[in-house]
Amino acid sequence: MFNTQIEYKMRNKLYLILMVSSTLLALTFSLNDLSAQKMTCRTGHVSIESSNAVSNIEADNYQVQSTLNTETGDVSFVGLTKSFSLESGALDKAFNSQYVNVDGYSKFKYQGKLTNLDEIDFNKAGEYEFDVIGDLVVGESKRRTQVIGTLIVNSDLTIQAYSDFSIKIEQANVDQINTLLKERISESINFEVLGVSRDINLSVLFNYR
Amino acid sequence: MKKLGKLSLVIITVLTCIALFIIFQPQYSTQGIEPDYTVKIGQLHQSFEQNESQASQKYIGKVIETSGFVIEVNKDVTGANVLLLSNTKNGDPQILCTLDSKYDNSSEGDLKIGTKVKVKGQCTGMLLEVVLKNGILLD
């Protein structure tokens, strides 16, 4: 029994405050968990290297956007074809000219999943190896890829992920790309310098937060 | 015979100069290029949101001049400043503009959150925001 009416009211208030505080605390933790699950990067780097009989062609894109879900292991990135800059100044100017239109090929996308998620502790700083399987989509063509890379969990729990890998593209696709280049690039540019080969080296780097 | 030797030397020199010009030509830059379009930031973003295919045909590859409030400043892996801009001080980002390091003389004050800036850059399409590369801060 309560001694006085005042004591009863105060106890009720205390219960109310406790209930509200614990609800807010629980909500805060659950929101933190949610935000920690999906990490994003707006300034990812994708580098492509291909060679032909005459020279190497290197292109870099520093505007690739990516998400990593640390709970499910889903990883995706999307970039714009025109965001690439070519190492060679002459080719870069040609690529950025009005002659190159990228209709139908304006974006490339990747959607994959980490297969060794249980080996990575996203709450503990350290270096981990990751294995990811997914689909790389350029225009209408989709390619299944399996890639191994390195993932660094920093002390502030931001993440850096990078990987270097090679893909061998089918001769039919090489012919298709080279025909496209020939069609869309000014005739004044020496086509032999631009043609790609079947071997393409890719490297990707993302800083997630 | 002597004339032929001199002619060969001239041809080789000219060809070498052309080759060196091609090899050492600087990369594309929007510096000194007149913008193809001067548009309001909200209008540019809305064009892509309403009809991406049509906006892509109009803007991709073109040099755009626009201005907006700095929402966030990041750096890419090369150390270049990457600005997220919006039409209001607290709005969602509508433009992502990577500044060309060669011409980026911006001080910290210029890139303060909430500051209004005018930029020029080459439009490459739309991801979460409309993307501009080779960006230059204008006065």
B63 in a structural domain: yes
B10 in a structural domain: no
Task: Provide CB contacts within 8 A for A176, sequence distance 6+.
Answer: none
B109 in a structural domain: yes
- Shortest distance between the Cα of A46 and any Cα of chain B, in A, equals 11
pLDDT at B66: 97
B25 in a structural domain: no
User: Of A92, A81, A209, A83, which Cα lies nearest the Cα of B75?
Assistant: A209
Mean of per-residue pLDDT scores for chain A = 79
A23-32, A129-138, B91-100: the lowest-pLDDT one: A23-32
Whether the predicted model's global pTM rises above the 0.90 cut: no
Query: For chain B, what is the domain count?
Result: 1
CA separation for the pair B112, A202 (Å, rounded): 35
B14 in a structural domain: no
Tokens 């205390």 belong to which residue?
A: A14
Residue A10: pLDDT band (50, 70, 90) is: low
pLDDT of B72 > 60? The answer is yes
* Percent of chain A topping pLDDT 90: 44
Residue from the list B56, B61, B125 with its beta carbon closest to the beta carbon of A98: B61
Contact at CB, B23 and A88, closer than 8 angstroms: yes
B104 in a structural domain: yes
B13 in a structural domain: no
Where in the sequence is the domain holding B66, given as residue range(s)?
37-138
Note the ipTM here.
Answer: 0.85
- Shortest distance between the Cα of B8 and any Cα of chain A, in A, equals 23
| Higher-pLDDT residue of B4, B130 | B130
B3 in a structural domain: no
Q: Which amino acid is at B95?
A: I
Residue A151: pLDDT band (50, 70, 90) is: very high
pLDDT at A94: 79
Q: Which CATH class is domain A37-208?
A: mainly beta
User: Of A88, A104, A80, A84, which Cα lies nearest the Cα of A183?
Assistant: A104
